Structure 1
Amino acid sequence: MDIDELEIIIEKNKTQSPETFNEILNVTIPFYTFYKQMNQGICQLEEEKYRINHSEVDVLSSLKILGDKDYILSPKQLHQKLLFTGGAITKVLKKLEEKKYIRRLDNKYDKRSKLVQLTKLGIEVNDKVLKDILDFEEKCFSALNEEEKQTMKNLLLKMTK
């Protein structure tokens, strides 16, 4: 989508829905359009190249980054870090275990739950998919020079305060 198409969408919103139009749409429509394109590209890359979904990547990455030295977390820790429902985390863990990306270990502190450990294959897949995601994101931001990227970063950080 180019700038002219975005301007048409914003103008259409302004004329067809003046009661809900706000000038902030000049910022939010391009922001969400970019985010949607980037997110769809990442999900497509994950699915087509790795046969993995974004939730599964989130779990693998969490185990690698937040896990202990052996890449182990409890399902409860994953649930808290990722804000998944209990049912959702169980479903994702089952898929990852079937793919041999994780293994379930006995928990000596809580016999009712099993710990989750990233396998060697899981580490390899996680590293590859994250590299590809970063390469894709780099392409998404390639229209910006380094100064513009820094400005964008600063503006986004300013808005998160």
Structure 2
Amino acid sequence: MTPTTCGAKEACKVAVKKAFEEHLNNEEVTNCEVICQPSKLSATYERLLYEKHEPNINTYKLRFRKDLTSLKNKQTDFAVDLLTGKITVEEFSGLDESQLISKTRQKQDAELLDKELKSKITMNMPDTINSIKNNSTFVSEKWGVSESAAKIDQEFDTES
């Protein structure tokens, strides 16, 4: 382990512990029983993060920043859930990056995706061939025929 790695690990523990301590003053935490202490949670979190990203310190740091942002965000409730024991550190560290956003944001994203999907499925088909786009231009004549068959065919007898 290099000195840079030791410094990053220690900084991770301190920052996560500080994020947990900020949430201890939250009304939601004071009404609930705090099961896990911030120092224990931060040490366990850092150990799990390091084990998962040990070969590459840059991915370790990147994931740490994302997790810390999520822990500090009061709308995600991850810090409160960890302190009260609703979720474990193992569950939190195993979350996908897309799951680190707040529950309301996840719900909004799902609703928007559903709405977009429904609008794509129920898209109206064109009524006429003239309303179909052809290479960024509209087909000008019905069925793509712009001139009469008599004008195109040189051998067409018009005087019969």
TM-score grouping bracket, smaller chain normalisation = under 0.3
TM-score (norm 1): 0.25
TM-score (norm 2): 0.25
